[in-house]
Amino acid sequence: MSDLDRDLREALERARADDLGVPRARHYREPEPLPDARGWGPFSFLQPATPWHLVAIGALLFLIGRLLGRAAAAEPLVLLGGLLLAVGVLSLLLLPRVQPKRWRGRWIELDTSWRARLYRRIYKR
């Protein structure tokens, strides 16, 4: 470790700057920013935002699989599309639409049922 790194670390410790990366509101009346969701880790780019996105992806995969006819990839695409379509429709029917609420500038969760937790785990918003 170089002297510059050691001096920088000591200066940050003296300034108690361990929370510099935490986003904060600019004004006391402005609400705190929404925290990042736990997501799917490295696969979070695959996480659908809403059940309608999952329905659209499932329908598209199903249609592509049907158009491929007897190709080797046709049957898995039809099965995957049908499965995603079924999960999307079931979540539209059974899972509540969870929207975060603000109270005095802070985000709170009103619904903590297993269905709401499952919705938040599957979808981004």
Q: Summarize pLDDT for 23-54 with one digit per residue, the tens.
A: 565 666 666 655 555 667 777 777 888 899 99
pLDDT at 69: 87
Q: Do the domain assignments include residue 73?
A: yes
Highest mean pLDDT out of 16-25, 34-43, 79-88:
79-88
pLDDT at 44: 77
- The mean pLDDT of the chain is 80
pLDDT at 22: 60
Residues 79 and 102 in one domain: no
Q: Do the domain assignments include residue 42?
A: no
Single-letter residue type at 32: E
How many domains does the structure of the chain reveal? 2
Q: Between 3 and 105, name the one with better pLDDT.
A: 3
Q: Do the domain assignments include residue 121?
A: yes
Q: Do the domain assignments include residue 112?
A: yes
pLDDT at 57: 94
Mean pLDDT of 16-21: 66
pLDDT band, residue 118 (cuts 50/70/90): confident
pLDDT band, residue 84 (cuts 50/70/90): very high
User: Given 3-state DSSP classes, what are the helix, strand and coil percentages for the chain, each rounded to the nearest 5?
Assistant: 55, 5, 40
DSSP code for 46: G
Residues 81 and 99 in one domain: no
Range of the domain at 124: 95-125
